[in-house]
């Protein structure tokens, strides 16, 4: 079984909430992003979602767009990515999943990306614009290398598509809480619960984590009451942007502590 | 023996290896709904009747063919014919697709349409259809384009649309599409994304092509009826590729008809400042489809450059990528200056002011017409009129301060 899945199951058995934290590689610089990611892991996130900056991030709100644009402006290149990942995985034991839009991976080569990801200690890949229908190569190489493969389940997905996502995901399933892009929202959509129950009705063993719009400790607690983890991104970037690494650590602790 | 397959019959999701649906899962239900609605509409004679009636009484179809002998003389011993899409309501071919998709939006019960626009022609056409059908309309336009196409911004606002200036990324058409996709992800229940070109995820490349294929269907018949022959060359400018596919489609299986597409070479094919996606790009995924695109070795999209806002796009429709690889169509680059000189030439030889986009095809005929045998015939899609470009043109030639 995937180590990510084992970890999420263990947390659930122990009655502890799971917190998955996103941060973009190379933001604001490569070295800074390593320190920020390590700090997030040491402050209590259970899984790190490490973003690959991309020029056309259609699934991301303004906070992440601006951060990843800055990473690219400051010279982030894919050739630096696996060293950056290796440094994080050598310093912390937290599973690291990479979140990347598809074109950078296609250009790097799907097989080469998968092998380099594995070699650098990465746990797997979250693909916001790659649906299972288009993912034959990635499915093949992630099976061969036993990498996590996170597809998305959304409020508009049919039950047949939820079945497919459940069957083909490994590590966890990314349940999109509301119709929209990343960014903090005050009210979490009731739709999140229905997506999770739709996925759970497939009897999948793969954990289901909820993301998009989560910004408070209360929301993290609430999501963990019916799902297997909460995914948080924009709030961490805002904290880092406005208050540096200390504010980032404080925010992780707040969201993880549930108070 | 197997029967020869017809290029014309190729529909999405894939054109060869190109096309597909590289989009967030959130949009799949809406794309499925659109595909299903379109399939039902195609099978329903009342849809075709309604579209034909609007084309006749609102758009002004069929558009005419004009032969331009004085312009043709600049290109050698050839004859050149224009398919006059500039005479359509709203001044370009864009209205063909917009009317069709607005009818589909109505069938889906969607009350709100969103659109991206570069030159503003698709935005104006969308705002027009929204006014006609009583739909709410939001148009995303790169901030750079709102400045160089200010007149079209005013037209859209007058028609009742909201125009959102996009200030992220390169602030041009590519970023307007990103923002429209984000809006659609959030509002997919009540909103139809009225995509304006033959790019994007399936089924858009097929649907948009089908609504524009009226151009080639009419033109092919008009050539046969009025002149008694098919042209040797059929040509159009290519940005995303909608007017070109619209004209090409009816000729795809006419083996003796050459297809020429002219892309924007901007400041030159050997500079970094161009929009020649098919000539200089590599295969990748942009805005939901696999196709040629301008990108660096990391797969980051490279900003395109063209004096023409409508061609200033680093991607291209997947069917064009397929036609290029099959060698069925050939694609060439035309620089800003070549296009501007051709724009002036058509205006002064024939009294027709084309859009700067269209002028790229006119320049292509001047540039490559001499390679044709004497007496050859060329059919060119005059995809839009140039009124919107008068400020750019006036400054370029020094008519305006």
B189-244 tens-digit pLDDT: 899 999 999 999 999 999 999 999 999 999 999 999 999 999 999 999 999 999 99
A212, part of any domain: no
Report CB contact under 8 Å: A181, B299: no
DSSP H helices in A100-204: 102-108, 110-119, 136-144, 159-168, 191-200
- Give the DSSP H or E segment for A234: helix A234-257
For residue B168, what pLDDT band results from cuts at 50, 70 and 90? confident
Report CB contact under 8 Å: B28, A56: no
Q: What is the CATH number of the domain that holds A122?
A: 3.20.20.70
Cβ–Cβ contacts within 10 Å for residue B348, how many? 12
Q: Which two tokens mark B229?
A: 């022959």
The crossing angle, in degrees rounded to 10, of helices B204-212 and B94-107 is 120
Mean pLDDT value across residues A186-193:
77
What value does the mean pLDDT of chain A take? 95
264-293 in chain B: CB under 8 A from chain A: 282, 284-288
Report CB contact under 8 Å: B24, A107: no
First-to-last C-alpha distance (Å) of chain A: 32
Q: Is the pLDDT of residue B288 over 70?
A: yes
Decide if B15-56+94-208 and B62-91+213-397 have a common fold. yes
Q: Distance between CA atoms of B160 and B154, rounded to whole angstroms?
A: 10
Report CB contact under 8 Å: B26, A105: no
From the candidates A76, A82, A101, A103, which should be mutated to test the interface with B, based on the most B CB atoms within 10 A?
Answer: A103
Domain boundaries, chain B: 15-56+94-208, 62-91+213-397
What value does the mean pLDDT of chain B take? 96
Q: Distance between CA atoms of A227 and A247, rounded to whole angstroms?
A: 27
DSSP H helices in B256-307: 277-280
Question: Of the given ranges (A52-56, A90-94, A174-178, B290-294), which has the lowest mean pLDDT?
Answer: A174-178
- Hey, which residues of B are catalytic here? 94, 116, 383
Residue numbers in B near A134 (CB within 8 A): 20-22
Mean pLDDT value across residues A41-64:
96
Catalytic one of A49, A189, A222, A228: A49
The answer to whether the bond into B93 is cis (omega within 30° of 0) is no
Residue numbers in B near A59 (CB within 8 A): 24, 182, 185
Report CB contact under 8 Å: B287, A65: no
pLDDT value of position A184: 67
Cβ–Cβ contacts within 10 Å for residue A92, how many? 18
Q: Which two tokens mark A81?
A: 């990515």
Mean pLDDT value across residues B11-23:
97
Q: pLDDT tens-digit profile of A7-42?
A: 999 999 999 999 999 999 999 999 999 999 999 999
- Whether residue B22 contacts residue B284, with contact meaning beta carbons closer than 8 Å, is answered with no
DSSP state of B355: -
pLDDT value of position A242: 98
CB pairs under 8 A between A and B: 111
Q: Assign domain B15-56+94-208 one CATH number from 3.30.390.50, 3.40.50.1100, 1.10.10.60, 2.40.10.340.
A: 3.40.50.1100
From the candidates B177, B298, B303, B318, which should be mutated to test the interface with A, based on the most A CB atoms within 10 A?
Answer: B298
A18, part of any domain: yes
CA gyration radius, chain A: 17
Mean pLDDT value across residues A160-186:
88
For residue B172, what pLDDT band results from cuts at 50, 70 and 90? confident
Indicate if ipTM > 0.90.
yes
DSSP letters, B191-220, are EEE---SS-SSTTHHHHHHHHHTHHHHHHH
Report CB contact under 8 Å: B25, A133: no
First-to-last C-alpha distance (Å) of chain B: 67
Q: Is the pLDDT of residue B292 over 70?
A: yes
Nearest to B21 among A62, A105, A131 (CB): A131
Report CB contact under 8 Å: A103, B186: no
Q: pLDDT tens-digit profile of B374-394?
A: 999 999 999 999 998 998 999
Only one residue has tokens 């028609």, namely: B159
pLDDT value of position A189: 72
From the candidates B18, B25, B179, which should be mutated to test the interface with A, based on the most A CB atoms within 10 A?
Answer: B25
Q: Is A119 on the interface with B (CB under 8 A)?
A: no
In B, minimum Cα distance to A213 occurs at B186
pLDDT value of position B1: 45
A164, part of any domain: no
Report CB contact under 8 Å: B22, A129: yes
In A, minimum Cα distance to B175 occurs at A56
The crossing angle, in degrees rounded to 10, of helices B94-107 and B45-54 is 140
- Whether residue A126 contacts residue A150, with contact meaning beta carbons closer than 8 Å, is answered with yes
In B, minimum Cα distance to A73 occurs at B169
- Give the DSSP H or E segment for B40: helix B28-43
Q: Is B148 on the interface with A (CB under 8 A)?
A: no
Q: Does the annotation mark A49 as catalytic?
A: yes
Percent of chain B topping pLDDT 70: 99
Q: pLDDT tens-digit profile of B323-362?
A: 999 999 999 999 999 999 999 999 999 999 999 999 999 9
Report CB contact under 8 Å: B185, A59: yes
Q: What is the CATH number of domain B62-91+213-397?
A: 3.40.50.1100
Domain that includes residue A138, residue range: 3-151+229-257
For residue B4, what pLDDT band results from cuts at 50, 70 and 90? low
Q: Is B21 on the interface with A (CB under 8 A)?
A: yes
Mean pLDDT value across residues A172-181:
86
Provide the number of structural domains found in chain A.
Answer: 1
Mean pLDDT value across residues B124-137:
98
pLDDT value of position A259: 41
161-180 in chain A: CB under 8 A from chain B: 161, 165, 176, 179-180
A195, part of any domain: no
Q: Is B347 on the interface with A (CB under 8 A)?
A: no
pLDDT value of position A177: 86
């Amino acid at each position: 079984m995937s180590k990510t899945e084992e970890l999420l199951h263990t947390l659930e058995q122990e009655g502890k909430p799971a917190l998955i934290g996103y941060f973009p590689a190379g933001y604001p610089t490569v070295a800074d992003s390593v320190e920020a990611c390590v700090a997030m892991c040491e402050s209590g996130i259970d899984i790190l979602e490490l973003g690959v900056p991309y020029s056309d991030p259609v699934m991301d709100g303004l906070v992440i767009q601006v951060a990843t644009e800055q990473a690219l402006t400051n010279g982030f290149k894919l050739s630096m990515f696996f060293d950056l990942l290796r440094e994080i995985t050598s310093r912390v034991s937290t599973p690291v999943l990479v979140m990347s839009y598809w074109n950078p991976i296609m250009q790097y080569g799907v097989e080469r990306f998968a092998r380099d990801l594995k070699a650098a200690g990465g746990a797997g890949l979250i693909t916001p614009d790659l649906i299972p229908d288009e993912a034959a190569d990635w499915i093949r190489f992630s099976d061969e290398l036993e990498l996590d493969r996170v597809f998305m389940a959304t409020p508009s997905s049919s039950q047949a598509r939820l079945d497919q996502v459940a069957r083909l995901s490994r590590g966890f399933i990314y349940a999109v809480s509301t119709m929209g892009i990343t960014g903090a929202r005050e009210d979490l959509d009731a739709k999140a619960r229905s997506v999770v129950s739709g996925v759970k009705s497939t009897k999948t063993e793969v954990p289901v984590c909820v993301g998009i719009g989560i910004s408070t400790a209360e929301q993290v607690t609430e999501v963990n009451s019916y799902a297997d983890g909460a995914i948080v991104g924009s709030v961490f970037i805002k904290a880092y942007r406005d208050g540096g690494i200390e504010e980032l650590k404080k925010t992780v602790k707040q969201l993880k502590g549930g108070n | 023996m197997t029967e020869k397959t017809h290029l014309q019959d190729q529909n999405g999701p894939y054109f060869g290896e190109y096309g597909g649906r590289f989009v967030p899962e959130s949009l799949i239900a809406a794309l499925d709904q659109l595909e299903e609605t379109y399939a039902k509409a195609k099978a329903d004679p009342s849809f075709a009747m309604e579209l034909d009636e609007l084309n006749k009484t609102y758009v002004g179809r069929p558009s005419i063919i004009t032969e331009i002998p004085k312009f043709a003389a600049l290109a050698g011993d050839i004859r050149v014919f224009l398919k006059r899409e500039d005479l359509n309501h709203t001044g370009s071919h864009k209205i063909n697709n917009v009317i069709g998709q607005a009818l589909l939006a109505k069938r889906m019960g969607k009350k709100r349409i969103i659109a991206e626009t570069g030159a503003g022609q698709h935005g104006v056409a969308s705002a027009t259809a929204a006014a006609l059908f009583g739909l709410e309309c939001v148009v995303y336009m790169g901030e750079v384009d709102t400045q160089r196409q200010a007149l079209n911004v005013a037209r859209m606002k007058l028609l009742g649309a909201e125009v959102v200036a996009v200030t992220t990324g390169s602030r041009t058409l590519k970023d307007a599409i990103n923002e429209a996709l984000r809006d659609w992800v959030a509002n997919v229940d009540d909103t139809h994304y009225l995509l304006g070109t033959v790019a994007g995820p399936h089924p858009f490349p097929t649907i948009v092509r089908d609504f524009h294929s009226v151009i080639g269907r009419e033109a092919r018949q008009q050539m046969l009826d009025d002149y008694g022959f098919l042209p040797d060359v059929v040509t159009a400018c290519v940005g995303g590729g909608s007017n070109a596919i619209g004209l090409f489609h009816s000729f795809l299986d006419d083996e003796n008809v050459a297809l020429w597409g002219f892309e924007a070479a901007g400041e030159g094919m050997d500079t970094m400042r161009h929009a020649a996606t098919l000539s200089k790009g590599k295969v990748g995924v942009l805005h939901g489809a696999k196709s040629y695109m301008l990108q660096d070795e990391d797969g980051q999209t490279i900003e395109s450059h063209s004096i023409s806002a409508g061609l200033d796009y680093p991607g291209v429709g997947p069917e064009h990528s397929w036609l290029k690889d099959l060698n069925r169509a050939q694609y060439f680059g035309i620089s800003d200056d070549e296009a501007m000189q051709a724009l002036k030439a058509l205006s002064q030889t024939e009294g027709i002011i084309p859009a700067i986009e269209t002028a790229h095809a006119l320049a292509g005929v001047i540039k490559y017409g001499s390679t044709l045998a004497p007496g050859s015939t060329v059919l060119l899609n005059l995809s839009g009129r140039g009124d919107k470009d008068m400020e750019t043109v006036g400054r370029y030639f020094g008519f305006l301060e």
